[in-house]
A and B are shown apart, each in its own frame.
Chain A
Amino acid sequence: MPPGPRRRPRLPAVLAAAGLAAASSESGSAIRFRDAAESAGITFTSTNGNPERNFIVETIGSGAAFLDFDLDGDLDLYLANGATLEPPGARRPTGALYRNDGRGRFEDVTAGSGLEIPFWGFGAAAGDYDADGDPDLYVTAWGPNRLFRNEGKGRFHEVGAAAGVDDPRFGASAAFFDYDNDGALDLFAANYVTFDPARVPAKGDPNSPCTFRGLSVMCGPHGLPGSVSVLYRNNGDGTFSDVTRDAGLFTEGTYYGLGVVTVDLEKDGLQEILVANDSTPNHLYRNLGGGRFEDTAVMSGFAYSNDGREQAGMGIAASDIEGDGDVDVLITNFSHDYTTLRLNDGNGFLEDVSMRIGLAEKTLATLGWGTAMLDLDHDGDLDMVIANGHVYPEVEEADIGTTYRQRIQIFESAGPLALKEVLPRPDDPAGGALERAEAHRSLAVGDVDGDGDLDLLATVLDGKPRLLLNESDTGAWLGVRLAGRRSNRDGVGAKVTVEAGGRRWSAERQGGGSFLSASDPRLHFGLGSAARVDAVTVTWPSGLTQRVGPVETGLYVTLVEPGQEAGKPASGKSLPP
């Protein structure tokens, strides 16, 4: 059959095999990475069901969280883990906790940590919900979600049920944030599908109607009942209340929530909740104040693709990639569709520019999950990272323009609204890391080795996570750690502006982001050739504004919110390397 005109303006099937995608080689990039998980001592291997991927629960993967659980100033690592549908036998997989020695070398300290509880975990969020100064962990699950309270000395205690956050539904990404700015971290957890293996035909079942481009595949999410995401308000006493309905977040109809980020789109001091939904319209819950939200996704251009299609949203990132002071939003999607970049026009509309800037062409072949917009080479502009990998192993055997294992893609800023893909350089040990294809899932970002640049950790379905150390040639940088007093302890919702060399950069401490993962809680600024930082200004969720400076570049500063000691100048101190 000749292809002929298509009935709908859907995108045609795809690019060359994902691992070989983009057309132009950008060998001049300063961005390069080195695979370092093994040398860094990360030996964990995830279990994510049957590798044949018979059911949707086996395809989502498991997340990761960077957190400084021992408060020694470096990023430690929690890795969530899945399970199997088959009887577990002697081996019961659990998540893992790794302690960082400060130089990017990790030690497995799971044993005795209280985290060695077997359950089918997915997303990980880190936040100091009990305001005791150390980060706690929330892990979504198929089954009750778990809240691991950090009790210090490397010990966590699971308090999900006692705290009232043990949502038994199929959870995905989660975010700690303070939606009502009362100084206590609240919690949003995206829920995915309602899944009962006894009621879903397995792949290969002759009665299964589930196909993808002619291939018999696992079923879902389409055809499965959706789920309603949940918002918990922190009661301030170690417990939470489910306020989903009261807040106006209860959604009628079918939605499949996966990625979530909280960010102040409207610049009114209240963070919105943005949810990337799989195969259904995305949600943009505008924070109205007073504990109420309103879904404005359709009116904002956020629900659908540019041409009105539901996309299969997975991961989400929000940052001011344009540098115009507004938060723009990136959502990864399924293969044969494109990763969607929406630019904020400043009037509440998010315009899909993916086609216009060439992002569509370079992401049609890939199935994206974890993602981030960040300055990898400290040139002062934000770059993009997307962790890719398909859900259907069957595509490997078919010639349909995508592959099961896919590369991590990096797009480097190349001027206003221009992106160029950083392609693998197999001949370069520090460039070949981008060549390796895996069934990647979550992506966490953080300065693991304390050298100031942002490293990447991507989980792999049924595999070892990949730690990609940033070995880019970089410019100046500044890291900002926030410590709230009147505001929540983590400073989620705080906005930081850095002025240096005649330029200004702004960033917001967000909740959630990417996919199933928690990234470095410190804000990170690439400063190009700036010799020093003239000023750092923080607008706290409490409404307080503080300004410090000048500050040297190349260090982390901790900014403590003026609270009970209001009026005292904030400290600008460097942390241990």
Chain B
Amino acid sequence: MGRLGLRLLAPLLTLPLLLGAQTEDAARHASMELDQARSLLQQGRLEAAAAAYRRHLALDPASYEGRLELGQILLSQHRLDEAASHLARAAELRPDAAPPYARLAQVLLLQERIEEAERSLLRARDLDPADPSVRYNLAKLYENLGREGEAIAEFERFIELAPDDPRSNNARARAGLHHEANNRLDEALRHFRDILAREPDRTSALHQTAGILYRRGRYDEAIPAYQELLRRDPGQWGAHVNLGFLMNVKGRALEAMAHYQRALELNPSHTESRFSLGQIQADQGRPDEALASFLKVAEAEPEHPFVHYAIGKILAKRGERDAAQKEFETHRRIQAEARKSQRTASTMQDDAARP
């Protein structure tokens, strides 16, 4: 049995046993079959357990536990139609109980009957608002449907209900990513920091944390976050690139250059690092080095959107106006073409226009 099956079956092992309105013998017999089914289930003998559940249900067709537990086994075996039938019957028998709806929703999800699955999960949630698994599944459902706000709400409720659940850090990561995508960077940051508090080695969370601090403009915090990321994973050339930018903004030009150089060692084809390195070299009054960097960029990427301007600027300052003019013309052409393609893609897209 796979992990999914075990997880699906786990809850039913602790369910209470209730007796139906049967004759005493039939009831005893039915009870024995149910005990046997559960014993077989605990042994992992699913087919035998299912057979026992069926015998139990033949004696007691109105057994809520029998329907629910058999439905669970069938779900784990991916026998979805049968599982749905038993779980739906269990729900009829105990319309006030959440588990049949929760499990039925899982069946429906696997059958891609999304709307019915959502209804079933919502019913389960209404009946048992404190069931974390229902919240988690609902969050995943909403996430798949692109309903980010509802997904976030359910992930966060799940985290509240089960902060130490093995799935909780995944929920934090999912909620964090959705917040980040929706420009709620502080909320996203809170989740990623919570992950790191529980799982300090999770470099993906460290990467997200650093990135959000960087986007948020909290450069003094982003710098140590990236440094920590590099300590744990020195091969993260992207972290070197971002640290290069951050150091430059902070006026730490030499450190910025070192980071861009390291990024280039790790990823020699990253022209943006070479371009940025050239910018700082130019800024530091080292035009020859800057020009060498820019020429390498232009060689690697002749249509680079900015490098011809950078080359032209150096030439213009040297008084080589004709050569500079040629570079500026190339820059202008590339910019015009980029603008034209932006227009083609969208006539009014501020993101494209605003730096």
Contact = CB atoms under 8 A, between A and B. Distances in A.
Contacts of A16: 216-218
14 contacts: A8-B305, A9-B275, A11-B245, A13-B214, A211-B350, A223-B343, A223-B349, A299-B316, A299-B328, A307-B309, A336-B355, A347-B317, A399-B185, A400-B183
Interface in B289-332: 305-310, 312-313, 316-317, 321, 324-325, 328, 331-332
B251 interface: yes
Contact of B353 (A5, A201, A222, A356): A222
B21 interface: no
Nearest to B311: A308
A5 B270 contact: yes
A181 B251 CA distance: 43
A23 interface: yes
A308 B207 contact: no
Q: In this complex, which of B204, B242, B283, B348 has the most chain A Cβ atoms within 10 angstroms of its Cβ?
A: B348
Nearest to A300: B316
B245 A12 contact: yes
In order of increasing CB-CB distance, the 8 nearest A-B pairs are A222-B353, A223-B348, A15-B217, A3-B211, A308-B309, A308-B306, A337-B355, A5-B241
Nearest to A306: B279
A558 B328 CA distance: 46
B250 interface: yes
Nearest to A279: B353
Contacts of A215: 183
Contacts of B310: 307-308
Interface residues of A, number: 67
Interface in B233-278: 237-238, 241-242, 245, 248-251, 253, 263, 267, 270, 272-273, 275-276
A28 to B, nearest CB: 20
B288 interface: no
Interface in B22-62: none
Given A3-B215, A5-B270, A219 B354 contact: no
Contacts of B324: 299
Interface in A152-192: none
A301 B316 contact: yes
Given A3-B215, A6-B241, A349-B317, A11 B355 contact: yes
Given A1-B177, A6-B272, A8-B305, A224 B348 contact: yes
A356 B237 CA distance: 24
Interface stretch (A309-317, A405-413, A522-530): A309-317
Contacts of B207: 2-3
Interface stretch (A115-123, A133-141, A359-367, A532-540): A359-367
Given A3-B238, A308-B310, A312-B355, A299 B321 contact: yes
A309 B317 contact: no
Interface in B126-152: none
Contacts of B325: 299
A543 interface: no
Nearest to A299: B316
A84 B61 CA distance: 73
Contacts of B245: 6, 9, 11-12
Given A308-B310, A336-B354, 5 more contacts: A5-B238, A15-B219, A299-B328, A307-B309, A308-B331
Nearest to B270: A5
A575 interface: no
Contact of A219 (B182, B185, B279, B348): B348
A499 B352 CA distance: 49
B286 to A, nearest CB: 13
A211 B309 CA distance: 28
Nearest to B237: A5
B199 interface: no
A259 interface: no
B331 A333 contact: no
B349 A307 contact: no
Interface residues of B, number: 68
B354 A308 contact: no
A8 B217 contact: no
Contacts of A222: 342, 348-350, 352-354
Contact of A308 (B186, B253, B273, B305): B305
B14 interface: no
B300 to A, nearest CB: 14
Given A5-B241, A14-B217, A401-B216, A361 B321 contact: no
Interface in A273-298: 279, 298
Contacts of A301: 313, 316
Nearest to B250: A361
Most buried by B among A16, A222, A337, A357: A222
Contacts of A571: none
A3 to B, nearest CB: 3
A353 B280 CA distance: 11
B210 interface: yes
A545 B253 CA distance: 45
A102 interface: no
A8 B306 contact: yes
Contacts of B331: 298, 308
B42 to A, nearest CB: 44
A355 interface: yes
A337 B350 CA distance: 14
Given A298-B328, A308-B310, A401-B217, A212 B351 contact: yes
B127 to A, nearest CB: 35
A214 B353 contact: no
A9 B350 CA distance: 19
Nearest to A392: B350
B258 to A, nearest CB: 16
B187 interface: yes
Contacts of A91: none
A187 to B, nearest CB: 29
Contacts of A311: 355
A399 B217 contact: no
A355 B217 contact: no
B208 A2 contact: yes
Contacts of A365: 217
Contacts of B183: 213-215, 398-400
Contacts of B96: none
A333 B355 contact: yes
